[in-house]
Chains A and B, each alone.
Chain A
C-alpha cells in the first residue's frame, strides 16, 4: 500500500470539506474492497476519508418502502427481521455477500458506490428499482449504475441511504466464484406494482436489466417463461473463471432458478 493521509470526520459536511481540500482523496466505507485495492496498488489516493464515524446506518420500513442507511453492514441487513419480513430476497442477497467476517464490515453504500461488475447489491438496487439518496440529490437505480466501477455520483458526492420499494415477489440467485464469492452471474428478479424487473450482475461490465426476460415474465411469471431465452454472449465477460458463452448460459439458468424461488 502507498502511504496516504487518514481522516475520520464526524459529519457529512466535514467529510465533504475534507474531500474538497484533499487533492486525490477517496471515501472509505467498510473497506472490504478498497483496502484490497490499495494493497494491490490499483488505487493511489493521497487521503482516505473514513465514513465509519458518521451515523449513517439503520433500517426503516414505511409506506411499502424499506430504507437502509448507507453505512449499514451486510450482516445487519441479512439478519434484520424488518428486511426478512418485507423483502426476504434482499436479506438473502446480503447474507451471501463474501463471508461472515466480510459481512461484519462491508456496507451497502460502499458496495453500490463502488459498482463492482460482480457485486451483489447493484443487482438488488436495479432489480427492485431502488432510489439512491446522496448528500445532494436522489437518483433512480436505472440512472445510477453507468459502467464498470462507474456510477452517476459526482466528485465528493456521498450515498447516504437507499430506498427499496417492497415488491410483490422477488428472489436473487447467484452462481458464486468459489474463491472470491463474487458473482460469476447473479440474477435478481422482482415482480413489482409497476412491472417485472430482471437485473443481472457478474456477467457484463456493469449490472444491467435483461429486457427480453422482463417482457416474457410480464406475460407469465414462471421459470418456463425464461427457460428458452438465450442471452447473447457478445457483451459478456470472459476470463479464466468462465467464457462469455458460459456466463451467457448462466444468466438464463440463474434467472430460471430466481423465478422458481420467487414463486415458491
Chain B
C-alpha cells in the first residue's frame, strides 16, 4: 500500500492507504479525526468540507494520495487553546445548528468564505452555502451566525 504524508491541523500526519482511499476516510479512520462527516458521499451535501492548502474542498471527492504534502485543516484544528474559533462561537451563540451533523462542514465553508469575501451580505452568504445542505435549521440561524462572525472577525482585524 502506498504511504501518504501531509500536515493536518499543523501536525505532521502520515499513514498507509489504498490509492482509492478518500481523504475523508484517511482523516476519520487513520487519524481518528471524526469531526469531518460523510453525509451524501456524492459531493452535494458538504458535511465533509475541510481546507486543503487554505481552500475549502469536499474531502469525499478527493483521494488521500492527492493530498500528499498538503496543509489540511479540519474542524478539530479551528479552536485554539480551548477557545472556540469566532465562527464556532457564533454558531453556538446564534443557535446555528440543531442535530449538528452538517455543522463541521458549514463552519469550514463559513471560515473559507469569510476569509475570501470582505463584505459578506446575506445574499452572498446564501449563495456561498450552495454546496452545504442542512436538513434541520432552514438555514436562518446558520446565515445569522456567519453574518455575525464575519462582522466580528473584521472588527478583530481592523
Instruction: Please report A residues at the B interface, Cβ cutoff 8 Å.
Output: 1-6, 8, 28, 31-32, 35-36, 38-39, 48, 50, 52, 75, 98-102, 104-105, 179-181
A38 and B62 alpha carbons, distance in the complex (Å):
12
Between A and B, how many residue pairs show CB distances below 8 Å? 72
- Given known contacts A31-B63, A32-B61, A35-B63, A100 and B112 CB-to-CB distance under 8 angstroms: yes
| Given A31-B62, A32-B61, A100-B131: 19 more A-B contacts, CB < 8 Å | A3-B18, A3-B19, A3-B20, A6-B2, A8-B65, A31-B63, A31-B66, A36-B61, A38-B20, A98-B43, A99-B46, A99-B130, A100-B56, A100-B109, A100-B128, A101-B58, A102-B43, A104-B56, A105-B58
Query: Does A50 lie within 8 Å of B58, measured CB to CB?
Result: no
Most A CB within 10 A of own CB, among B18, B57, B109: B57
A102 and B65 alpha carbons, distance in the complex (Å):
18
Instruction: Please report B residues at the A interface, Cβ cutoff 8 Å.
Output: 2, 18-20, 22, 41-44, 46, 49, 55-58, 61-63, 65-66, 68, 109, 112-113, 128, 130-132
Residues of A within 8 A of B42 (CB): 36, 39
A36 and B49 alpha carbons, distance in the complex (Å):
16
A104 and B59 alpha carbons, distance in the complex (Å):
12
A38 and B44 alpha carbons, distance in the complex (Å):
16
Distance in angstroms from B5 CB to nearest chain A CB is 13
Query: Does B20 lie within 8 Å of A98, measured CB to CB?
Result: no
Residue of A nearest to B59 (CB): A101
Distance in angstroms from B118 CB to nearest chain A CB is 13
14 residue pairs of the A-B complex, CB under 8 angstroms, read A3-B20, A4-B19, A4-B20, A38-B20, A39-B41, A50-B66, A52-B66, A99-B130, A99-B132, A100-B113, A100-B130, A102-B58, A104-B56, A181-B130
Query: Does B43 lie within 8 Å of A6, measured CB to CB?
Result: no
A100 and B129 alpha carbons, distance in the complex (Å):
8
- Given known contacts A101-B131, A102-B58, A180-B44, A6 and B63 CB-to-CB distance under 8 angstroms: yes
Residue in B41, B61, B113 whose beta carbon sits within 8 Å of that of A31 in the complex: B61
Residue in B2, B18, B20, B56 whose beta carbon sits within 8 Å of that of A101 in the complex: B56
Residue of A nearest to B112 (CB): A100
A181 and B42 alpha carbons, distance in the complex (Å):
13
A97 and B49 alpha carbons, distance in the complex (Å):
17
- Given known contacts A101-B49, A101-B131, A104-B57, A32 and B20 CB-to-CB distance under 8 angstroms: no
A261 and B155 alpha carbons, distance in the complex (Å):
37
A105 and B59 alpha carbons, distance in the complex (Å):
11
A50 and B113 alpha carbons, distance in the complex (Å):
28
Query: Does B61 lie within 8 Å of A35, measured CB to CB?
Result: yes
Top 8 closest pairs, chain A to chain B, by CB:
A99-B131, A6-B19, A1-B20, A104-B55, A99-B130, A101-B58, A101-B56, A35-B61
